[in-house]
Amino acid sequence: MILAAIDIGSNAARLLITEVERGLNGSPEFIKLNLVRVPLRLGFDVFESKRISAQKEKMIINTLYSYKYLLEAYRVEHYRACATSAMRDAENAAQILDHIREQTGINVEIITGDEEASIIYENHVAENLDRERAYLYIDVGGGSTELTLFNNNTLIFKESFDIGTIRLLKNQVTDEKWLEVKEFLKEKTKAYKNLAAIGTGGNINKVFSMSKKKDGKPLSIELLKDYHKEMGSFSVYQRMRVYNMREDRADVIVPALQIFINVMRWADANEIWVPKIGLADGLIKHLYKQVRLRGMEV
């Protein structure tokens, strides 16, 4: 069975195409066939003007046209397309989604912050780690940050905050909003000792790759602080050159590190695992569950 997920975020749109096969023990195996990322940067429009411009709308439609042809080329049987924070905030979102559907045939749904947190949790990374610890999923996007606490195979909470990398670049995150996150985390995580974090999103994936750590090994909060200080001393252009980054990564990676560091500090988490998964991976697993329920299991 071949499934696909389209994630239209505040910074980029991603298409993930995955083949699902039965493993030797009967459990499904998810084999990544292709991952395409286009830096639409919708948040730069929406978080200032509350609207998606005509130019950005054209970019979205052209991107989804290309995704449509890839869905056909890979013979994708089922897909799910979701939009997150920027589309949630855009006053003309409904009109944009109508145009997408009319011109490409792709039906995009806007999901809430809570739904986003739940879908990211579908990856169940913590279940493969030390059962004696509590784990805080931290997913940092351009427009929002989703936090999900998992302990002893139990989902403790899921919460979304309008703090994202593009909002920080636009100076749209107030001290009050930071304080809200701080107080929430200190209250909700105080009962969990030796808590660790699980980081998702392109920025933390990039930091992990730069660290040269082996897969399955965590990063320390001290290392994140070092990277934040080092990268913060460079201009965007210098980051692009020194760290071999695209511009759409070089400008958001420092605010992303700021979010990860603050969340970890307030939750008293000293380590973060980086499984290199994100919303699109969670969408695939959620879609697979839905397909099974409809009796079309692999």
Model confidence pLDDT, tens digit, residues 129-165: 666 788 999 999 999 999 999 888 788 999 999 999 9
CA of 106: how far to CAs of 56, 91, 98, in Å?
17, 20, 10
Per CATH, the architecture of 2-113+280-293 is what? 2-Layer Sandwich (3.30)
Q: State the chain's mean pLDDT as an integer.
A: 91
Domain with CATH 3.30.420.150 in the chain: 125-276
Q: Do residues 117 and 86 lie in contact, with contact meaning Cβ atoms separated by under 8 Å?
A: no
pLDDT tens digits, 71-127: 999 999 999 999 999 999 999 999 999 999 999 999 999 999 888 878 876 656 655
For residue 90, the tally of other CB atoms under 10 A from its CB is 24
Domain with CATH 3.30.420.40 in the chain: 2-113+280-293
pLDDT tens digits, 192-213: 988 999 998 899 999 999 998 8
- Which region among 4-13, 23-32, 88-97, 227-236 has the lowest average model confidence (pLDDT)? 23-32
With cut-offs at 50, 70 and 90, classify the pLDDT of residue 298: very low
Distance between CA atoms of residues 14 and 16, nearest Å: 6
Residue range 51-65: mean pLDDT, rounded: 96
What single-letter amino acid sits at 253? I
Sheet containing 154-161: order of strands: 154-161, 145-151, 134-140, 196-200, 271-273, 219-220
Identify the bridge partners of residue 220 per DSSP, sorted by sequence position: 271
Q: What is the CATH number of domain 125-276?
A: 3.30.420.150
